[in-house]
């Protein structure tokens, strides 16, 4: 629809990629705190057995970077397909 009102192929590819990265970042932003909280709860429950909780900052930052890269890679094929669609054929009714 956006192509029909004037969006270029390049803008379409960029929009799809950005949406994919944003979705990946939202998932990481929800998953990281949830994982940290669950790990802290389990560590607290098992503290009498010598288990302690440490926050792995480097691993968390690496996970966030992997989420962004995965979002970009996952968007390549759909972005290309969306940019190459023939606008008139897509909007045509049966």
pTM listed for this prediction: 0.69
Residue-wise pLDDT for 13-33, tens only, equals 888 888 888 888 898 889 989
Residue-wise pLDDT for 46-84, tens only, equals 888 888 888 889 998 998 889 888 888 888 888 888 778
For the chain, give the percent of residues with pLDDT over 90. 15
Residue 8 pLDDT = 84
Q: How many CB atoms are closer than 10 A to CB 34?
A: 10
């Amino acid at each position: 629809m956006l192509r029909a009102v004037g969006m270029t192929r390049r803008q379409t590819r960029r929009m799809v990629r950005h949406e994919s990265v944003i979705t990946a970042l939202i998932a990481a932003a929800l998953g990281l705190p949830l994982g940290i909280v669950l790990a802290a709860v389990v560590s607290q429950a098992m503290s009498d057995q010598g288990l302690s909780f440490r926050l792995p900052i480097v691993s968390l930052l690496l996970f966030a970077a992997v989420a962004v890269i995965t979002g970009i890679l996952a968007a390549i094929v759909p972005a290309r397909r969306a940019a190459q669609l023939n606008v008139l054929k897509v909007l045509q009714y049966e």
